[in-house]
Amino acid sequence: MIDGKTVLFSGMQATGSVLQLGNYLGALKNWVTLSKEYESFFSVVDLHSITIRQEAAALRSGARNILMLYIAAGLDPEKACIYYQSHVPAHSELAWILNCFTYMGELNRMTQFKDKSAKHEANLNAGLYTYPILQAADILLYQADLVPIGKDQKQHIELCRDIAQRFNAIYGDVFTVPEAYFGKAGAKIQSLQEPEKKMSKSDENINASIFLMDDRDTIIRKFKKAVTDNFAEIKYDPENQPGISNLLDIYTLFSGKSIEETVAHFQGGGYGDFKLAVGEAVADGLKPLQERYNELKADKEYIDKIIKNNAEKASYVANKTLRKVKKKIGFPELIR
């Protein structure tokens, strides 16, 4: 809580490539709705990005693209605090402190660490291991009550809660203990090429993902190529027909129609016509976001101002928590 208001915090990684449809439907779209109700902080978590080797220019442009997409998707940067994690040194500082309040046994249990370390054997750095501690620092600095995330982040939020409770038990009520918030629809968008797998912006097959800035023809072409099945029946059955079910999910999220209505509407038709309709609905649905993004991209001054103002706003809140933490721990007071 800040000044009696419920606080929401979330973040996305800047990985050099632009966001894909799953990030939009699973996260951004929900953030826009939630930000109307809560005091919100949305960070571009570039400190997290370097747990995997990044090319400098790509990281810089990728981070800025994501920040602009947050706004293009409908977040109001005058209301929600949209900022780069690396602009607020308090994140790194609190992360170090929380390192000393987290057990290796806890980190060893993190399934994301296990997955990532298998994938990045050649660069098994300590940051990959302590990643969830930095995430806990992100959340706790802002006294966040709610953290909208995908299911894959559930374990990290549980760890964050454990760390906060442990700290509070020693030093008194310093941190708000946050809760994970799972959006209803759209939290799970699957790959168009391997529908049993989550759509991921790092997928090597470019036809597997729809990127938010893909043009209309590209979007329609990717949907036409989407992998389905040979049941020749449009039916919502994620278990046996994951491809068609994923397309139905995507279509309903853009058309606002229910799965039942959609199934009834396309019943008896071929997969080809249905895929085309999904592609068109997505292309139409993304058009306003794409137009807004291009406007923002052309207005460097405006974006720079947003970045500066919000870094100040975030720092103000974060530093307040950090000062309290340092005092409780017993670090000598800074004499000004």
Catalytic residues: 116, 198, 201
- Does residue 176 touch ligand TRP according to CB under 6 A? no
Helix-helix angle 259-266:271-298, to 10 degrees: 130
- Is residue 13 within the footprint of ligand TRP (CB under 6 A)? yes
Enumerate residues 6+ apart whose C-beta is below 8 A from 234: 244, 248, 263, 266, 267, 269, 271, 274
Stretch in the footprint of ligand TRP (CB under 6 A) among 60-68, 135-143, 195-203, 316-324: 135-143
Distance (Å, whole) CA 228 – CA 230: 7
CB-CB contact of 104 with 65 (8 Å) = no
Single residue of 135, 193, 228, 241 touching ligand TRP by CB under 6 A = 135
The dihedral through the CA atoms of 280, 150, 35, 69 has a sign that is: negative
The residue among 47 and 248 lying less far from ligand TRP, judged by its C-beta, is 47
188 in Cβ contact with 198 (< 8 Å): yes
Q: Strand pairing partners for 160?
A: none
Question: Between 150 and 229, whose beta carbon lies closer to ligand TRP?
Answer: 150
Of the ranges 103-111, 132-140, 219-227, 305-313, which one interacts with ligand TRP (CB under 6 A)?
A: 132-140
66 binds ligand TRP (CB under 6 A): no
CB of 291 to ligand TRP, least distance (A): 27
- Asked if residue 139 binds ligand TRP (CB under 6 A), the reply is yes
Nearest distance in Å: CB 139, ligand TRP: 5
Supply the minimum distance, in Å, between the C-beta of residue 239 and ligand TRP. 26
Least distance in angstroms from the C-beta of 117 to ligand TRP? 15
Q: Beta-carbon neighbour count of residue 316 at 10 Å?
A: 11
The DSSP secondary structure of 157-221, one letter per residue, reads: HHHHHHHHHHHHHHHSS-S---EEE--STTS--B-SSSTTSB--TT-S-GGG--BTT--HHHHHH
Which residue from 69, 88, 146, 147 is in contact with ligand TRP, where contact means CB under 6 A?
Answer: 147
> Which residues contact ligand TRP (rule: CB under 6 A)?
9-11, 13, 45, 48, 135, 138-139, 147, 149, 153
